[in-house]
Chains A and B, each alone.
Chain A
Amino acid sequence: MKKQTMYFRMIISSLIRRRSRMLVALLAVAIGATVLSGLVTIYYNIPRQMRQEFRSYGANLIFVPTGGDSAINEDEMKKATELIPAEDIVGIAPYRYETIKINEQPFMAAGTDLEQVKKTSPYWFVSGTWPAGSGSVLIGQEVADLIGLLPGSSFTMTGTDSTGKGFGRDFTVSGIVQTGGTEEAFLFLSLSDLEGLMGNSGELDVVECSISAPQATLEGIVRQVGENVEGVTPRLVKRVADSEGTVLTKLQALVYLVTVVVLLLTMICVATTMMAVVAERRREIGLKKALGASNQSIVMEFLGEGLFLGALGGLLGVALGFAFAQTVSMNVFTRSISFQPLLIPATLAVSIAITGLACLIPVRSTTDVDPAIVLRGE
């Protein structure tokens, strides 16, 4: 039999046949590894989850015409939006604003892609329905109050087109929008309807983008668009982007702090248990030394037991940690999280390292045991 085989046989026998004591240490490592792997999973998923949460607060990046340019044309918009990673795009809504009249009263009409608006502004509350096609509009609560329109009502929109010629067309109110903001003073219709009324196309006043990406990525997009697309000035919506960054930083710092504290507690618990294990096995250590075991052999045996516990606890921790993270994510964000395979070696490595570190002092004390204790009958 090889020496290594006997070494592992001794370690396994010690762990299995002295399981009541070792279960305490295993439990400590497993709990530590569970919290570690759970919190690390949450740590990496929080930004994604929170970014998705923050997307409900509206666009976080807008494109406006540069300098004296009166509008962004379709080519410029295409070039600018192509610089945004496709997988990060939640929605992109182009807007064209024109003054129109209803019953000779002037209002601001916004032509847009209403399907995209649903994505960029999910916080809008619509009484009635969203416009289903041409000829339907969404009107702000303020407009509805002023002209007394309700969902299903028809009205005639009049105005002057880009050539100075007058127009008039009947529209149906599909819904009334409440946002608590300036949008309540607007009418929203499809961009093609507005372009049809104005007699020209491809002139956008603003493009609102909702992007699920960290602050650094957003800043990168701003830089790239600014450098590469003439006629478009990108701007971060500071109110949204900054609060998103602040909340995420604080949450991540909290998770980091809790992880460190839990790892420290795990270390203390393992160290205390191993200290007790070494103390209660002094006679066995003395015997082994009396049989000719070197200090190094004894240290390696106890360290081996500790590291084996670390590995076993780490494996348990990976499984329980994922369940823990999944539960937290479902309860807090109502979204499931994906398993990160890299977490298996990472948790194992940290568990083994923490256990090894915790074992150092107790294991070191085995070298102080005098082999003569076996003859004194202690």
Chain B
Amino acid sequence: MNLLKLKDISKIYGSVKALQNIDLQVSQGEWLAIMGPSGSGKTTMMNIIGCMDKPSNGSVVLDGMNIAKESAKSLTNIRRDKIGLIFQQFHLINYLTALENVMVAQYYHSMPDEKEALQALERVGLGDRAKHLPSQLSGGEQQRVCIARALINYPMLILADEPTGNLDETNEKIVLDIFKQLHQDGSTIIVVTHDPEVAEEAQRTVVLEHGRISRIVRNEK
């Protein structure tokens, strides 16, 4: 069953065609990687899938709803209810502790639950760092807080933008292990990456070039 279906998507900024005629389907529980050089349209595609932008043409159906036609307010609600975002630069709120950063996502979604937020941190191995501020955490730990925050509301789709881009090898492995576990648990994951090793962990890799899908690779693992 398809969770996400992009049909004939184009995005045009003035005279620049950021995306052209993209067709892509992502099944429920699938792990998909999106690769491509800078300027290939990866970020534009992430913005559209993540309900932060709308395509100029085409339809984006997420969980049966064409999000290309929704209002900005409605897109905010969809983002809040169905999507978990993981960022290359972590984007933790610097004046809140790790635990509070996770609870912020709960706060906007429904009701903050300290116990549940702590469990999410324990799940990524940071139960003992809950009261620490982002400035007191390493890059790998910050990324794990970011993952805990993305997972706290049980999203249908986890959207990760270069999740290992700022991490060393050890932390990259820790994060990928978490992704593997999430995949095994049935989560749908889309990862944008430059790193072929990260992309290889996904079931399929979509390669973008000049705003078009140049090829789709099915990975062996």
Contact = CB atoms under 8 A, between A and B. Distances in A.
Contacts of B107: 3, 6-7, 10
Given A292-B76, A292-B80, A284 B47 contact: no
Contact of A371 (B52, B104, B112, B113): B52
A290 B103 contact: no
Interface string A323-339: 00000000000000000
Nearest to A378: B89
Interface stretch (B19-27, B61-69, B91-99, B177-185): B91-99
A372 B93 contact: no
A287 B93 contact: yes
A294 B149 CA distance: 18
- B interface bracket (residues with beta carbon within 8 Å of A): 35 or more
A201 interface: no
Interface in A280-308: 283-284, 287-294, 297
Contact of A377 (B53, B76, B89, B104): B89
A146 interface: no
Interface in B54-97: 73, 76-77, 79-81, 85, 87-89, 91, 93-96
Contacts, number: 84
A1 interface: yes
Contact of A375 (B50, B103, B111, B114): B50
A372 B53 contact: yes
Contacts of B89: 377
A242 interface: no
The residue among B46, B111, B112 with the most chain A CB atoms within 10 A of its own CB is B112
B109 interface: yes
A339 B100 CA distance: 43
A372 B47 contact: yes
A297 B104 contact: no
B161 A375 contact: yes
Contact of A374 (B76, B77, B91): B91
A375 B163 CA distance: 11
Contacts of A7: 107
Contacts of B91: 283, 287, 290, 374
Contacts of A249: none
Contacts of A288: 93, 104, 108
Point out which of B81, B88, B107, B113 has the most chain A C-beta atoms below 10 A from its C-beta: B107
A375 B47 contact: yes
Nearest to A7: B107
A345 B91 CA distance: 40
Interface stretch (A12-20, A37-45, A78-86, A190-198): A12-20
B105 interface: yes
A292 B95 contact: no
Given A17-B133, A372-B53, A10 B104 contact: yes
Contacts of B103: 1, 6
Contacts of B88: 377
B108 A297 contact: yes
Contact of A17 (B95, B108, B114, B161): B95
A223 interface: no
A216 to B, nearest CB: 55
Contacts of A376: 43
B52 A1 contact: no
Nearest to A19: B95
Interface string B186-218: 000000000000000000000000000000000
A370 interface: yes
Q: Which label, helix, strand, loop or mixed, suits the secondary structure of the A interface?
A: helix
A355 B161 CA distance: 39
Contacts of A3: 107, 111-112
A261 B80 CA distance: 45
Contacts of B161: 375
Contacts of B77: 292
B108 A291 contact: yes
A6 B112 CA distance: 7
Contacts of A17: 94-95, 133
B87 A375 contact: yes
Contact of B52 (A2, A6, A9, A375): A375
A332 B107 CA distance: 55
Nearest to A370: B52
Given A17-B95, A375-B52, A377-B89, A292 B81 contact: yes
Interface string B158-190: 000100000000000000000000000000000
27 contacts: A1-B111, A2-B112, A3-B112, A6-B104, A6-B107, A7-B107, A9-B100, A10-B100, A10-B104, A14-B95, A18-B95, A284-B93, A290-B85, A290-B91, A291-B79, A291-B80, A293-B108, A294-B73, A294-B76, A374-B87, A374-B91, A375-B43, A375-B46, A375-B47, A375-B50, A375-B52, A377-B89
Interface of A: 1-3, 5-7, 9-10, 13-14, 16-18, 283-284, 287-294, 297, 370-372, 374-377
The 10 closest A-B pairs by CB, nearest first: A292-B80, A17-B95, A372-B52, A6-B112, A292-B108, A1-B112, A287-B91, A293-B108, A6-B107, A372-B47
Given A10-B96, A287-B91, A288-B108, 15 more contacts: A1-B111, A1-B114, A3-B107, A6-B112, A7-B107, A10-B104, A18-B95, A290-B79, A291-B80, A291-B85, A292-B80, A294-B76, A370-B52, A371-B79, A375-B47
